[in-house]
Amino acid sequence: MIGIIANPASGKDIRRLVAQGTVFDNMEKVNIIQRILVVLHYGGVKDIYMMPDSFHIMDKALCFLERNQKVQVDVKELDFDLNFDQSDSIKAATLLREMKASCIITLGGDGTNRAVAKGSGDVPLLPLSTGTNNVFPAMLEGSVAGLAAMVADKDMTRECLVLRQCKRINIYKNDELVDIALIDAVITDDMFVGSRALWETDSIKEIFVTAAKPDSIGISAIAGSFRPMSEAEPGGLYVKIGGGSFRTWAAIAPGLVRPVPIREFRETDYDTRVRVETPCGMIALDGEREVVFNKNDKVEIEFTDKGPRVIDVQATLNAAAKKGIFVDKEVATETANCPGV
């Protein structure tokens, strides 16, 4: 069984206004879902479940498929009431895990995947990028994602399915685990959650990143601009922002370039808690302001290798092709004499 979680809210927040983010239209998500479903259908995947959403992405995709391709795909909606916030993604992921999904395809940005990761447990994720900050998910064509998901569903023995173990950041407030992040945790002296996004560097005081990628945008890019760190390298990077040592610059949002003064930085091992220095403010997780803390709170951040597992699409499809998953032996005999085959 395959699960699909498409976040209708991704790609339309305040970063459209303060940065050069284009609107990732929900109609484009409908298109992507169509492409995924056509491939799953052709590949014989029978059980497909989708998170319901306010844009009715699923209904639209199925309607267009039937009209344009004369294809009727059996997709069921997960049965729960929507809150129209991130808890919907968490709930959907939790249900899909309980129903033993082979994988969950996600359409969203870092924030979406973070929410999904809170409920998905061990279920492999296949994240497609449709958000603003897209360090975690990949730019992947829908049909290709459908292929990889199909392999995950069919490959019971896990011969072809190649997974990558992702990192995770744990946030502890007064010794209690209060939240997680997949890419970055940013300590700011902001007072409010408000519109959630981060676009002003003045308030950023400390950053924790699992991957520091100069070939990305956002917080990861800041660290990546002077100390690149891949997902494969164990541990994480802790950077203190402020005057002192040197200055760097990066695109912190689409088309929004800012200089960033760096005070100091250090690599941090897994399972080591780092105490946050900023006395009070907000913690932004994967690009969204999330956790409040005050003067009397003890805030600690920890890197672990206990994040979700993500399907390595290229390696998986290569292995599947070599194993002949796409080939039908009878048809192959007929076409063997055709030129070009």
Binding site for another protein (CB under 8 A): 8-9, 12-14, 16-18, 22-23, 25-27, 54-56, 84, 191-196, 200, 292, 294
Q: Given the complex with another protein, which of 191 and 327 has the nearer CB atom?
A: 191
- The DSSP code for 270 is B
Which residue type, as a one-letter code, is found at position 264? E
> Is 153 or 290 the residue whose CB approaches another protein more closely?
290
DSSP H or E stretch at residue 114: helix 110-120
Q: At its nearest, how many Å lie between another protein and the CB of residue 203?
A: 9
Closest CA to 138 of 311, 317, 316, 320: 311
Q: In whole angstroms, how close is the CB of 184 to another protein at the nearest point? A: 21
Q: Between 28 and 312, whose beta carbon lies closer to another protein? A: 28
**Nearest by Cα to 281 from 179, 173, 192, 209:** 192
For the bound state, the minimum distance from the C-beta of residue 60 to another protein, rounded and expressed in Å, comes to: 8
Encoding tokens for residue 97? 């895990």
Minimum distance of another protein from residue 294's CB (angstroms): 8
User: Which is nearer to another protein, 164 or 258 (by Cβ)?
Assistant: 258
CA-wise closest residue to 183 among 130, 226, 221 = 221
| Cα pseudo-dihedral 104, 107, 109, 110, rounded to 10 | 0
The closest alpha carbon to 197, from 218, 182, 216, belongs to 218
Query: Could you count the other beta carbons within 10 Å of the beta carbon of residue 175?
Result: 8
Cα separation, 80 vs 66, in Å, equals 26
Least distance (Å) from another protein to the CB of residue 153? 30
Considering the complex, state which of residue 15 and residue 213 has its C-beta at the smaller distance from another protein: 15
Considering only CA atoms, which of 112, 260, 232, 282 is closest in space to residue 182? Answer: 112
Give least dist CB 37 to another protein, A: 20
Nearer to another protein, 63 or 332 (CB): 63
Smallest distance from another protein to CB 34, Å = 16
Nearer to another protein (CB atom), residue 154 or residue 196:
196
Report, in Å, the least distance between residue 331 CB and another protein: 41
Separation CA 240–CA 238 (nearest Å): 7
Measured from the CB atom, the residue of 99 and 193 that comes closer to another protein is 193
Distance CA 57, CA 84 (A): 14
How many Å separate Cα 94 from the centre of its chain? 16
CB 158 within 8 A of CB 315: no
